[in-house]
Structure 1
Amino acid sequence: MENSKKNILVAPLNWGLGHATRCIPIIRELEKNGFAPILASDGVALQMLQKEFPHLQALELPSYDIEYAKNEADFKWKLIKNSPKMIDAIFSEKKIVKKWIAEYHLQGIISDNRLGVYSKKIPCVFITHQLNVLSGKTTWISSKLHQHFIKKFTECWIPDMEKNPNLTGKLGHLKKNKLNLNYIGPLSRLEKRDLPIRYDLMVILSGPEPQRTFLEQKLKNEVRLFAGKVLFIKGSVEEEQKIDQDENVTYYNFMTSAELETAFNESEMVLCRSGYTTVMDLAKLGKKAFFIPTPGQFEQEYLAKRFKRNGYAPYSKQDDFKIEFLKDVKLYRGLPQLEKTIHWKQLLILFEGE
């Protein structure tokens, strides 16, 4: 009775790979609980999900065309300049979703930060770890705007703990609100495994261009000076996996979830962006890390500073980073391992309907 399964659209934002990767456990649970997930995104986020779930139907959504500035100072200006494109994409999403509900008999929607992917006709969930969207002096406006969109959804799932200790701090917690919030606990597609350590350092890159490439170029020079074995995952999703060896460094262009799980578990420490999806993975696996936030991305800078202040992990600005900074990692205690069982059956009752 394959066709009796309820179709649920899962639509992550294509902004780096984080939104798509944290949807992986959700897609797995939908399948386990007898739903039929339909994937929807654009660009590398969609490619990545298609590699993970080649058996699932995949649909293309309009791109938000988020371009990153080449330097930090222009970051906000670039976003403002791009906002008309973004607004167009959100309006297009709404039209497309209306059509898809009829065409694919959708019974529910899970949108990870795609603001136009919702409908009043069916239950819709919004996933975000940012109820407050930090943008410097305009934080008040960007946060209010984001909350205005969140209100349009049936529920908002926050992949964090409601009380302290938590991973998001002021990003994912409001003093007062009228939103239908559900703190579901951190999401990770990875499991902690007891494997022998093969690498002294794992470098994993992520996030949008051109900053991903800038960091890759910088770290390629730095890791040559590292005394130990390095696994370097570039985070560029391509048709075929490529593996290169350069003295003490093993390079991969990308890895599947299963390969990444092994790689994390076999590495002593991790050098990475302070993107929230990576943060949740590190917390789950109990790995110590050094963070390099994406220049100009207020949210990553806030998280990196907060983790340093709380004694969890050190960080450095991209331009300042030197490989010898990694010796500080042992002085920090690592991210808190927040144990919370996600009650998927309870969460997914929302889509049971009649």
Structure 2
Amino acid sequence: MTIDDAADARRAELRTAAIRLADEVLFPAAGDVDRTGAVPESHWQALAEAGLYGIAAPVDAGGPGLEFGEVTEILEVLTSGCLATAFTWIQHHGVVLSLSRTTNADLRAELLEATVTGRLRAGVAYAGVVPTPPRMTATATGDGWLLTGHAPFVSGWGDVDLLQVSARDAATDDVVSAILRMPDLLEGASADAVRATPVDLSAATATRTVSLRVDGLTVPVDRVVTRVGLGEFFASQNVGVRLNGTLPFGLIRRCTALLDVRGHNREARALRERADVVRTALDAGMADATALLAARADAARLALDAAAALAAADGGRAVVRGSASERLFREAAFVLVAASRPELKTALLQRFSGA
């Protein structure tokens, strides 16, 4: 077997593992995850054992060298299994990418291999830098940074080992991102500077999402993974928008599969065909933020259509708390606003209102 053959086999193996986990492990447990508000530890272990924590890493960082479309397909597949599990896990890949590209060689050496294998699980808190003025600011000190502000939605609290926190430099508006170990956030001097308040979500409560406030959090310079200009930061956000754009397609995948099971094959096929058109537009918009967000809005609306179609097919069962169609409808509302942007909110408002 050549090197290329081995790489092809590994990519196929990852895709097969994702489908198996989604259909045989995640989806059968998704109702219990929704009811209990907790992702079982066995889910995270299964993802790690399958090598799925490292799918976004380049080959030189220990990754499988997947094409971007192969990564997004795996994200869609796992979202079709359990939204709460996938939503928390998806954010890990942003940290892997940061570590694989950082000029902080010591931080890369310390954390990259462990995040690629899933021995360390990671989350992100970057929403504080998106609005202007920013919600989260960083002030330079002699040996690091002092962070103050608010990140309104931080998922994985209690499930992740690392948190990448981003803030805007109060002096230059650069975006400073640091990776902190959770014990360092919650213990010692930092404990008084950090307050996490659980957010009671209508769906995906098992993401363990909190509203995070920090007041004078000290970040040593050796924990900084990137520092980039504001323009560069927003340019890089297209990748994140596309990755989060897999969430609606995961729900569409599950809704159409259930429609097939219920004998509504024609309707399921029509939804899949619409999804193919929107997915193509989403991929084509990677270089154009306006087009990308428009396609992301179309995807979110289509997920709601798919969930509504399933609810209509199920009839009375769809209004019974805990049924798959009831949960998927709530989750479709969740992906309308999760990982959103003001432009996305405006686009959806216009689509639904007809204005």
TM-score with structure 1 setting the length:
0.27
**What is the TM-score normalised by the length of structure 2?**
0.27
Question: Per residue, is there more helix in 1 or in 2?
Answer: 2
